[in-house]
Amino acid sequence: MARSDTTRFRHNQAILVAAIVATIGALPLAGARAYLLPVLLVPLAVAVWAWRAGTDADLAGLRLRALAGQRRIPWDQVAEFGADPRGRAVARLDDGEQLVLPAVRREDLPRLVAAAGRGEPETAQ
């Protein structure tokens, strides 16, 4: 499947910028003593998470990406979409499991359904 057929949902890139700034800020601390070098791992992990984590949707299904792993879910396993009280999109699977979709908000649900080929995306007015 071509990359253009995939709808991608990612976290705000300001998180990545903040992680880079935090890395630069931690350099003097980490350079002061060798045992403080692991301090650099925290902003580095946040930067990798911000770059990688999210949800990809195409005609085959969903791919949920996290810091160190991913999970592929075919559309026929998705029973319904909804939102939690915090405004995050949630997918309920046919076995009853509920999954929070990384980087997908309540407002993104029409685009997500359209990526499945089951509807048209709503246009902003």
Query: Could you tell me which of 89, 81, 86 has the C-alpha nearest to residue 108?
Result: 89
Which pLDDT score is estimated for 124? 45
pLDDT tens-place string over residues 30-58: 999 999 999 999 999 999 999 999 999 99
Task: Give pLDDT, residue 1.
Answer: 46
pTM equals 0.78
Tens-digit pLDDT profile for residues 67-119? 899 999 999 999 999 999 999 999 999 999 999 999 999 999 999 999 888 76
Question: Looking at residue 119, what is its pLDDT?
Answer: 63
Residue with tokens 């990688």: 52
Token pair recorded at residue 1: 């499947």
Residue 125 has pLDDT above 50, yes or no: no
* Distance separating alpha carbons of residues 36 and 27, to the nearest angstrom: 10
Distance of alpha carbon 30 from alpha carbon 9, whole angstroms: 34
Length of the chain: 125
